[in-house]
């Protein structure tokens, strides 16, 4: 099913199907970097709410954001976003302050795997935890809820418009990186800087740990 078919502009004027994304080689480089390092390397920006965590500890996420603003208690706009997102994209979903619904589960993860998407980040709950872990599709949520969602054809939602998660505004095409520690949104125009600064930071930390193992103290190393 094509995005043009399900999201014709005259039918869904709040949907943008075309976004700019970071260059693929930068996404690949960032995929091996900890979320905390990218956050620190850019001056401690982009940390999404700490309540958003992977459904399974080993899950990791890295890809351009396709942003969804969903009506509370309704997941129809998530279904629509599944067929707008491109391979590798991460759905970043705001649920209008109503987290306690199972917005996502085994069916949608199966569809997302078939679409080769990069993952889901949602400021609400999901369900089917065991099945999601078995599928391996990276899902980051605020928790689990069995409460069912509606699918109101008349409810207004937005796809690929900015949303605020916590104190971070996520723009379409921002780079989303998540691991067990949390999730960071790197502004698209700063991805190159983030990757370079993170690599330098990682190299410096390796040196610091070597010196600590040689008997030096953090107090002197950091001039505390």
* 108 in a known ligand binding site: yes
- How far apart, in whole angstroms, are the C-alpha atoms of residue 127 and residue 29? 31
* 105 in a known ligand binding site: yes
- How far apart, in whole angstroms, are the C-alpha atoms of residue 213 and residue 224? 19
**What does DSSP assign to residue 150?**
B
Closest by CA position to 183, among listed 199, 171, 201, 165: 165
Q: Considering the entire predicted model, what is its pTM? A: 0.92
Are 125 and 95 spatial neighbours (Cβ–Cβ below 8 Å)?
no
Q: What CATH number does residue 103 fall under?
A: 3.50.30.40
First to last CA, the chain: 59
Task: Tell me the torsion sign for CA atoms 140, 92, 116, 23.
Answer: negative
Report pLDDT digits (tens) over 20-57. Answer: 999 999 999 999 999 999 999 999 999 999 999 999 99
| Structural domain span for residue 143 | 3-221
List beta partners, residue 15: 159
Domain count along the chain:
1
CA distances 158 to 71, 96, 200, Å, are 9, 11, 38
CA distances 64 to 48, 82, 87, 111, Å, are 15, 14, 10, 18
List beta partners, residue 94: 69
Are 61 and 178 spatial neighbours (Cβ–Cβ below 8 Å)?
yes
pLDDT of residue 13: 84
Q: Which two tokens stand for residue 56?
A: 């399974």
Could you read off the pLDDT tens digit of each residue along the chain, which spans 224 residues? Answer: 444 445 554 467 899 999 999 999 999 999 999 999 999 999 999 999 999 999 999 999 999 999 999 999 999 999 999 999 999 999 999 999 999 999 999 999 999 999 999 999 999 999 999 999 999 999 999 999 999 999 999 899 999 999 999 999 999 999 999 999 999 999 999 999 999 999 999 999 999 999 999 999 999 999 99
Residue 147: CB partners within 8 Å, gap ≥ 6? 100, 101, 102, 125
pLDDT of residue 157: 96
* 154 in a known ligand binding site: no
* 128 in a known ligand binding site: yes
pLDDT of residue 8: 52
């Amino acid at each position: 099913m094509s995005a043009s078919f399900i999201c014709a502009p005259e039918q869904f004027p709040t949907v943008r199907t075309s976004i700019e994304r970071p260059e693929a080689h930068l996404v690949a480089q960032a995929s091996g970097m900890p979320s905390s390092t990218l956050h620190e390397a850019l001056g401690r920006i982009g940390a999404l709410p700490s309540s958003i965590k992977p459904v399974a500890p080993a899950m990791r996420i890295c890809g351009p954001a396709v942003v969804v603003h969903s009506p509370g208690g309704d997941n129809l706009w998530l279904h629509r976003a599944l067929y707008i997102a491109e391979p590798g994209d991460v759905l970043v979903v705001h649920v209008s302050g109503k987290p306690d619904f199972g917005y996502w589960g085994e069916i949608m993860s199966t569809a997302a795997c078939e679409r080769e998407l990069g993952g889901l980040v949602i400021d609400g709950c999901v369900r089917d935890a065991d099945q999601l872990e078995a599928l391996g599709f990276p899902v980051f949520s605020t928790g689990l809820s069995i409460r069912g969602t509606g699918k109101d054809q008349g409810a207004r939602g937005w796809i690929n418009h900015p949303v605020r998660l916590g104190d971070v505004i996520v723009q379409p095409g921002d780079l989303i990186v998540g691991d067990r520690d949390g999730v960071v949104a790197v502004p698209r125009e700063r991805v190159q800087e983030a990757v370079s600064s993170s690599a330098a930071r990682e190299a410096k930390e390796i040196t610091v740990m070597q010196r600590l193992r040689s008997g030096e103290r953090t107090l002197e190393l950091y001039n505390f």
